[in-house]
A = this chain, B = another copy of it.
Amino acid sequence: MSEIRILLVDDHPVVRAGLRAMLSGFEGFSVVAEAPEGAAAIREIQRLQTLGEPLDVVLMDLQMGAGMDGVTATRAIKALSPAPPVLILTTYDTDADILAAVEAGASGYMLKDAPPEQIRAAVQQAAAGQTALAPEVAARLLGRIRNPEPVLSTREVQLLELLATGMSNKSMARQLFISEATVKTHLVHIYDKLGVDNRTAAISVAAQRRIIRTGG
């Protein structure tokens, strides 16, 4: 069996070095290119294709400090022809991240704190055209199918976003051209679905589940 040729995409030099060291230590693995963010990754893929050099799998981080993020990059890569398999390797395993990655065409989702052997197996599977989910991720997806978490409506997410900017009920009512009563109704539904009982906790939970994004 021939060598598995890998492109690393991660904005942290330390992580790239770690993956390079770890993968190079495995028999039959070879890191042939690296990129700090999505746009550079696409350039690397095209460069390799132009040179006729094969590429078997892209190892992609989701969170990039600057430049094109991992989900966008994955979508762009899957639009190429031929499109190499993209294996997501990231720090967080939130529903939103996982679903976005799968929707973008990723063929696997691994966590950075996984033991080396798990990462090795996932890369091998991805290179072979199979899907590879981290055990934690697989368990979460199965649990979600069995026990679907309540989904916020678009209006509720909208409220939540305004809420996170620190607006009062009155302000949100004005902003959305609805009455304070309606705002309160929505809030009650939101608290209900998130399992909390006040606005501050709602923002906390929503941020943790990455339903909304807070901060810079």
A interface residues with partner B (beta carbon < 8 Å): 11-22, 65, 91-92, 94, 112-116, 119, 163-168, 196, 198-205, 207-210, 213-216
> When the two chains form the complex, which single residue of B166, B203, B215 contacts A166, counting CB atoms closer than 8 Å?
B203
Extra pairs beyond A13-B113, A13-B115, A16-B18 (18, CB < 8 Å) = A13-B18, A14-B19, A15-B18, A17-B19, A17-B116, A18-B21, A164-B203, A165-B201, A165-B204, A166-B202, A166-B204, A167-B201, A168-B198, A203-B203, A207-B215, A214-B214, A214-B215, A215-B215
| 8 nearest CB pairs, A to B | A166-B201, A18-B18, A207-B215, A21-B21, A17-B18, A166-B204, A14-B18, A166-B200
Q: How far apart are A75's CB and chain B's nearest CB, in angstroms?
A: 23
What's the number of copies of this chain in the assembled complex? 2
Given A214-B204, A215-B214, also A166-B196 (CB < 8 A): yes
Given A14-B22, A17-B18, also A164-B204 (CB < 8 A): yes
**Residue numbers in B under 8 Å from A20 (CB-CB):** 18, 21
CA distance A215 to B94 in the complex (A): 11
CA distance A22 to B113 in the complex (A): 19
User: Does B213 contact A215, Cβ atoms closer than 8 Å?
Assistant: yes
